[in-house]
Structure 1
Amino acid sequence: MGDAVELTAGGRTVRLSSPDKIYFPERGYTKWDVAQYFLAVGDGITRALRDRPTTLQRFIEGIEGEFFYQKRAPKNLPDWIPTARIAFPSGREAHEICPTEPAAVIWAANLGCLTFHPWPVRRERTEHPDELRIDLDPQPGTDFADAVRVAHELHTLLDEQGLRGWPKTSGGRGLHVFVPIEPRWTFPQVRRAAIAVGRELERRMPGRVTTAWWKEERGERIFVDYNQTARDRTIASAYSVRPYPHAPVSAPLTWDELDEAVPQDFDLVTMPTRFAELGDIHADMDDHAFGLEGLLELAARDERDHGLGELPYPPDYPKMPGEPKRVQPSRAKHKKEE
């Protein structure tokens, strides 16, 4: 696998073991290539992760081997990488790493981390999200172009609410739009705002958008995955590498680029060139923090005027106040017939 090497990131030296280990067999990309990529986009991914409790998705044997999510900070964590205590829906707690510099990203890459999953909170206020994250997830029969059409309507909706979103590719077929918010609301309130966004998009784009939690009800539509805003649900960070054969990355975009963007064009090799030319085009996100009052009022109107209340949480969550039954519709119908 080659002898270990030392890399310098932000003035700090980090050890990289087995640099020749193959991580992406189809392209021949190695652990060294991954580390060089993260060095090239270091300022961008550090901005996306800074001070956020972060789960590491680790591929020790490359993308064709088994992977796992590491939530708790490893025991060999360097003293220069801070942590934060976070609480899971179960009530259990853990300390997760909170990267603050590019060297922390390289250190995690040495552990086989390709995809970073940061919480939408900062380590100083782990109970109050500072990002509203909207996940536009293409269902079978739809594609990235369909997600782009929905994203444009989302852009209009955000403008009407006095909000601004920053779009990025998921690294797969979908789109993510992040809205920086003031850390004044709880996880259930931010999730409620996401549900309001999804329902408004459903009204504006009937037959093209859905908030249906059960896959059998979604059809060939773009699913607004509101549960990605629930506690302990995370979205791959900007500049994360995704575990697909061509080594795609989650690419920050401008709104003007959406119609011409092709997710496959952003990968381990092409993104450093783009970054060198344009820098981190989402660099100004942290200069903004918006309010959720308008979206929460929209949610209140949905409930008051249309009887649209809570939606199901993921199955591993405790039962939440006002939540409907977590029963798959076809199974509920079958039980009723029995």
Structure 2
Amino acid sequence: MSAAEMLEIPGPDGQTRTVRLSSPDKVMWPAGEHGPAITKRDLADYVIAVGDRLVGDALADRPVTLQRFRDGIEGGEFYSKNPPKGAPGWARTTMCTYPSGRSHPQLVVDETATAVWCVQMSTITWHPWPVRTGDNDDPDEVRIDLDPQPGRGFADVVEAARGLREVMTGIGLTPFVKTSGNRGVHVYARIAPTHEFLDVRHGVIGIARELERRMPDLVTTAWWKEERGERIFVDYNQANRDRTIASAWSPRPLPGAPVSTPVAWDELDGLDPSTLTLRSVPERAASSDPWAGMDEAVGDVAAAVALWDEDVSERGLGELNFPPDHPKMPGEPPRVQPSKKVAAHWDEDGNRVED
């Protein structure tokens, strides 16, 4: 490995931050059909190039979980929720409460230099919470992940995203879109932080069910994969506390170093997301800002929650499954695959009845 390098990075108020980058030639993405190897220094250079966008659009003033790969994408990964040891003095933290009721601090990435320090800690992808540090319990974003199941391509996801845009604008939200860095897209909308996580999750379910009614052959809210078929899953569970999506401008740990990239709605048709990579995206970040105006386009999530309420009162629809690591919730369906469910073993609240 080559010797450590000291990187000088502009900070606030004319300050200069110094970040030590050890083993800069460590391979993070191996060479292959997508091109030459991408090193730790390449990743740091990318973060410096897009830092204003990465921090400003996605990370600043939010708790952030770090997805880390000490041996590159072909090695093991782990998620850092506690701030890694040795965080620079200018980096701050914020206290978060998790579904278990436990609380501890998480890192806040307010500067490009902090993001570069995360690269030093072998971070490839940043996962910010949908809250601001002044209120870590009430989301200020709706985030919806459109996840295509086998048999569906990116054009199908684009069709679903356009339908989702119509649903969201119809209830007063202003949606913005980005590629996931894989096969799907993520749709975001700023909201006033007036409702806690469970309410926002219910609002997302209300939006998802309305989209499902409009596009029943294309999209689904089915939690169990065996029930989804060849449809696009609207992943409502990304709205839960402590569930996060790869940030805008984050590279993904996949061959070719794809980046989860903000795009304009009129770019989606014919877009090849595989061309949006760590090597190509800096030029885009410097020349366009598809999410301009996002911070000013703050909607009210109450209209989405009203969709949920209408489904409950008028259609008899109720709670959907939570992630397996989440505490069992009132009214939640049984946490068992439908094909393996024996009705007599579960009560009406989804709790197992022992023989």
2:5: which partner in 1? 5
Shift of 1:165: 0.8
Q: What SS does the corresponding residue of 1:259 show, helix, strand or coil?
A: coil
2:322: which partner in 1? 313
Q: What are the superposed Cα offsets for residues 116-148 of structure 1, whole Å, 9 maximum, x if unpaired?
A: 000001111000000000110011111221111
2:349: which partner in 1? none
Q: What is the correspondence of 1:247-266 to structure 2 with a 5 Å cutoff?
A: 247-266=257-276
Shift of 1:335: 7.4
Select which of 295, 299, 310 maps to 1:301. Answer: 310
Q: What are the superposed Cα offsets for residues 301-324 of structure 1, whole Å, 9 maximum, x if unpaired?
A: 111111111101011111112222
Alpha-carbon distance in 1 for matches of 2:297, 2:19: 33
Alpha-carbon distance in 2 for matches of 1:284, 1:81: 27
Select which of 316, 338, 348 maps to 1:329. Answer: 338
Q: What is the correspondence of 1:45-124 to structure 2 with a 5 Å cutoff?
A: 45-47=54-56, 48-124=58-134
Q: What SS does the corresponding residue of 1:207 show, helix, strand or coil?
A: coil
Shift of 1:333: 4.1
1:186: which partner in 2? 196
Alpha-carbon distance in 1 for matches of 2:221, 2:113: 39
Q: What are the superposed Cα offsets for residues 205-251 of structure 1, whole Å, 9 maximum, x if unpaired?
A: 01111000111101100000000000100000001110111110000
Shift of 1:200: 0.6
Q: What are the superposed Cα offsets for residues 257-287 of structure 1, whole Å, 9 maximum, x if unpaired?
A: 1112111010011001112222x32142222
Alpha-carbon distance in 1 for matches of 2:135, 2:253: 31
1:246: which partner in 2? 256
Q: Is 1:197 matched up with 2:207?
A: yes
Q: Is 1:143 matched up with 2:159?
A: no
The answer to whether the 8 Å contact 2:178/2:260 transfers is yes
Alpha-carbon distance in 1 for matches of 2:245, 2:219: 20
Alpha-carbon distance in 2 for matches of 1:143, 1:71: 33
For 2:26, the aligned partner's letter is: K
Change (3 A) 1:283 1:2: farther
1:30: which partner in 2? 39
Q: What SS does the corresponding residue of 1:41 show, helix, strand or coil?
A: helix
Alpha-carbon distance in 1 for matches of 2:344, 2:333: 17
What is the root-mean-square deviation of aligned Cα atoms in Å? 1.4
The answer to whether the 8 Å contact 2:174/2:298 transfers is no
Q: What are the superposed Cα offsets for residues 281-304 of structure 1, whole Å, 9 maximum, x if unpaired?
A: 214222232101211111111111
The answer to whether the 8 Å contact 1:44/1:283 transfers is no
The answer to whether the 8 Å contact 1:168/1:176 transfers is yes
Q: What SS does the corresponding residue of 1:12 show, helix, strand or coil?
A: strand
Shift of 1:175: 0.4
Alpha-carbon distance in 2 for matches of 1:315, 1:91: 16
Aligned-pair identity (%)? 52
Alpha-carbon distance in 1 for matches of 2:45, 2:225: 39
Q: What SS does the corresponding residue of 2:188 show, helix, strand or coil?
A: strand
Select which of 22, 33, 48 maps to 1:17. Answer: 22
Alpha-carbon distance in 1 for matches of 2:205, 2:19: 42
Q: Which structure 1 segments of 5+ residues have no match?
A: none
The answer to whether the 8 Å contact 2:29/2:257 transfers is yes
Q: What are the superposed Cα offsets for residues 150-174 of structure 1, whole Å, 9 maximum, x if unpaired?
A: 0001111122112111100000001
